[in-house]
Amino acid sequence: MKIHHIPCLQDNYAYLIIDDVTKEAAVVDPVEPEKVIQAAGEHGASIKLVLTTHYHWDHAGGNEKIKQLIPGIKVYGGSIDNVKGCTAQVGNGDRVALGEDTSILALHTPCHTKGHISYYVTTVEGNDPAVFTGDTLFIAGCGKFFEGTAEQMYQSLCVTLGSLPKPTKVYCGHEYTVKNLQFALTVEPDNAKIQQKLSWAQNQQQKGHPTIPSTIEEELQTNPFMRADLPEVQERVGCNSPVEALRTIRQQKDNWRG
């Protein structure tokens, strides 16, 4: 399995997932279909599936166009998210096969939208795990609570995604990493892992390189929203429960002008 990121719009990412055996491909959130199709051609891949994380236009807005450009393509989206152009709905625990050696598991990760889906992708043997988290989990951050609660985001981030194998690579929907890490330092100013990753991310940004992917392990070390379980983080934000800490950190981030 090969994964290629495709910058779209101002700061979005679409992703191309290619099955090694068959060169069949899935694309995640192809908001600019022509770019995705060109990338597939450059890698000798044939696009068969669209995996839509949620219905917002900057993620689902290319679905109708890619259906015109690739007749018969399957477009997957969350069963309660009203995804534009969707031809096949998925819910938590549903599996989709890609080619001969790639397995895709749908994970319901609501809060940013009610029906948001993250896609956990591995080889059939369970190797090379990766998760495509849309606007639920960002590198060192999380999405705004547009349609859900802190309880839901806690479940999505800390339980559903946080329980994935630690080496799982995290591919999110936007390039927000530097700002997220700068904010993370306001929550944990003495966290050396955050300091180190911010320095690295700033260097990547200066070179015009992506800061993606991260890993679940790195997020558990540097992402304040996924660290809301920790007593020291709760103490820093004046809370005594993980959900309250996560809610408070999100409110602080919403009001932060870094």
Sign of the torsion formed by the C-alpha atoms of 162, 167, 173 and 178: positive
Please provide the DSSP assignment of 34-53 as one string.
Answer: HHHHHHHHHTT-EEEEEE--
Enumerate domains of the chain plus CATH numbers: 2-255 (3.60.15.10)
pLDDT digits (tens, 9 = 90+) for 156-173: 999 999 999 999 999 999
Q: Where are the alpha helices (DSSP H) in 188-227?
A: 192-206, 216-222
- Hey, which residues are catalytic here? 54, 56, 58-59, 112, 135, 174
pLDDT digits (tens, 9 = 90+) for 91-128: 999 999 999 999 999 999 999 999 999 999 999 999 99
> Strand pairing partners for 214?
170
Alpha-carbon separation of residue 147 from 56, 77, 85, 114, 153 (angstroms): 12, 17, 21, 6, 10
Global confidence as pTM: 0.98
pLDDT digits (tens, 9 = 90+) for 73-85: 999 999 999 999 9
